[in-house]
Amino acid sequence: MNNIIDIVVGYDEKEAVAYHAFTQSVIERSSIPIRFLPLNIKSLEGYTEVHKDGSNNFIYTRFLVPHLMNFKGWAIYADGDMVCLEDIRKLWDLKDNKYAVQVVKHDYKTKVKNKYWGNKNEDYPRKNWSSLILWNCGHPSHKVLTPEFIKEQSGSFLHRFTWVKDSEIGELDKEWNWLAMEYEEKKDVNLIHYTIGTPCFKEYENSSLAYFWKKSFRNALTGYYKKDKLD
């Protein structure tokens, strides 16, 4: 089937519920077929994580997306700690072949010094740009992104998209990667990113925009047709 969306999702077994809540939110609203690929590090043949930094298991594996797609076509990458509130097709339709990647170009200073599991939440250039990516997997610039290459690179090199030219980085509207607890409380957005901590963690269960995550989680368990106090 040609008209299908490939979505690669960050997966960490320590917060597996986040993956399932996110995929549920996409499935509910998508108007065309979708195909999910969880970035489960245990199943990524040919790649062994050697980096010692990072707050989850998909900090570096997200850059394997063109390799996993055989350097062909397009794919969406999304961190697992998200909820989609709009038809993912609308994001897919923004694909532009003149770009190697398209991202939300966040420009902000964090309001929170520490995030989930006590990890430091430091400011750095292009922070969170790589948390939602429209990948043009066949773009020539991505040919370097082999498992061996990624293992040798620093986080700053990869997360700032240093291997591509700045002119090859397209910009998406901020509403496709709205940062809960960092941006203002706004409900009419397309995709929420719980970058400080997913509401599956007790300390964030009532944090900004947690309602939408809870509803997606509930729907994954019981079916979104069922009414309860979240409606």
Radius of gyration of the chain (CA): 17
- Convert the pLDDT of each residue in 50-90 to its tens digit: 887 766 789 999 999 999 999 999 999 999 999 999 999 99
- Convert the pLDDT of each residue in 79-126 to its tens digit: 999 999 999 999 999 999 999 999 999 999 988 876 665 567 778 899
Burial of 138 (0-12, 13-18, 19+ CB in 10 A): middle
Average of per-residue pLDDT values in the chain: 92
Residue whose C-alpha is closest to residue 151's, from 45, 28, 63, 38: 63
CATH 3.40.50.10470 fits 5-222, yes or no: no
- Convert the pLDDT of each residue in 127-150 to its tens digit: 999 999 999 999 999 999 999 999
- For residues 183, 92, 60, 122, the Cα torsion angle rounded to the nearest 10 degrees is -10
- Convert the pLDDT of each residue in 198-208 to its tens digit: 999 899 999 99
Asked if 81 and 163 count as a contact pair (C-beta separation under 8 A), the reply is no
Task: List Cβ neighbours of 161 (8 Å cut-off, separation of 6 or more).
Answer: 100, 101, 103, 126, 129, 130, 169
- Convert the pLDDT of each residue in 158-170 to its tens digit: 999 999 999 999 9
- Convert the pLDDT of each residue in 152-199 to its tens digit: 999 999 999 999 999 999 999 999 999 999 999 988 999 999 999 999
**Residue 166 gets which letter from DSSP?**
G
Asked if 218 and 210 count as a contact pair (C-beta separation under 8 A), the reply is no
Asked if 35 and 116 count as a contact pair (C-beta separation under 8 A), the reply is no
